[in-house]
Amino acid sequence: MGKVIDQAFSKGDILEDLRLYPFNKLPAEDPVVIVHSSLKSIGYVIGGAETVVRALLEWVGGGGTLVFPAYSYSASDPEQWRYPPVAPHLVEKVRKNIPPFDPILSPIDTGAIPSAASRFPGALRSSHPNGSIIALGKNAKRIVSAQRLENSLLPDGPLGQVYELDGWVLSIGTDLSSNSSMHLAERWARKGEGLAHLGEFWKSRVPVDTPRGREWVLLEKEGGCSTGFIRIEPILRRRGVISYGRIGQSYCQFMPQRGLVDETIKILDEDPLALLCSDPDCPQCAPTWRKYGSGRQSDW
Ligand SMILES: [Zn+2]
């Protein structure tokens, strides 16, 4: 016999969890929440991702706003792909044939919950070849229309708008390594100068379709490797930034985005290498460790 569904979560069950600590810290008035999520971490949800979005909408209420990353990882330069890499003789073919960004058609590679959210009435998707976001609710238009090609991590970009609005971050079964707001701290650290001196390794090219044809635009100082973000979780927990709770079977993190960004900036101002990963083959972190780490990588 195959696997038996021995626990089933309804919208009511999920909402009940969301009304408990720590999710009950959500401000009552016009809350804004960025949701990072793994649907399967919750267990069997009756109605799947759609049910989760309905529960989240009820939780934030009529004045609330939900924001979901809706990244399209394939809209990037195939020369930089690693999982898996593209054989050199195919790079040009892949590069030429990547479809143009379309807010309706472009894939959402961040999971079932953002994909379901994109189908809800009133859902807006920002225009960015690989870094778009979806928003639903009162402040959706403000957040989505803030998107430009180069400002994903600047104060006037979508995540910066969430910071302005004093929003929150909910990670459903995911951890800091997929918490996009951490990239704001990377960019805003060092008194607003960002970690520019490390940024020579943090460049990506994205396809932009213009009347003149396809252009590949180099974006600098965008988010770097995020695998190492989990290294500072114990510090953030000790400082009371991250709280933990359960939704269904999912282990969740909940935090004010400002607290997260501001504390991470403090950590980075003390140690600009605090968020680098330990993979000796990482094309971003490994050269940075070699150049600035003076052997420290082996410390952890
Ligand atoms: Zn790395």
In a domain, 167, yes or no: yes
Which pLDDT score, from 0 to 100, does residue 300 have?
A: 47
CA 37 to ligand 1 center in whole angstroms: 22
Q: Is 139 exposed, middle or buried (0-12, 13-18, 19+ CB in 10 A)?
A: buried
Q: How many domains does the chain have?
A: 1
Contact 51/45 with Cβ under 8 angstroms? yes
In a domain, 163, yes or no: yes
In a domain, 246, yes or no: yes
What's the whole-model pTM score? 0.94
CA 27 to ligand 1 center in whole angstroms: 35
In a domain, 3, yes or no: no
CA 224 to ligand 1 center in whole angstroms: 8
Output the average pLDDT for the chain.
92
CA 113 to ligand 1 center in whole angstroms: 26
CA 101 to ligand 1 center in whole angstroms: 27
> Which domain, by its residues, includes 270?
11-299
CA 281 to ligand 1 center in whole angstroms: 8
In a domain, 2, yes or no: no
Residue 216, H or E segment: strand 213-220
In this predicted model, which residue has the larger pLDDT, 198 or 32? 32
CA 277 to ligand 1 center in whole angstroms: 4
Which pLDDT score, from 0 to 100, does residue 214 have?
A: 87
Query: Could you tell me the CA-to-CA distances from 1 to 4, 5, 40, 46, 197 in Å, in that order?
Result: 8, 12, 21, 22, 58
In a domain, 23, yes or no: yes
Among 222-231, 239-248, 287-296, top mean pLDDT goes to 239-248
Q: In percent, how much of the chain has pLDDT > 70?
A: 95
Which pLDDT score, from 0 to 100, does residue 299 have?
A: 52
In a domain, 24, yes or no: yes
**Which phi and psi angles does 217 have, rounded to 5°?**
-100, 130
Q: Which tokens hold the place of 60?
A: 């934030």
In a domain, 6, yes or no: no
Report the relative pairing of strands 213-220 and 203-210 from DSSP bridges.
antiparallel
CA 204 to ligand 1 center in whole angstroms: 14
CA 233 to ligand 1 center in whole angstroms: 16
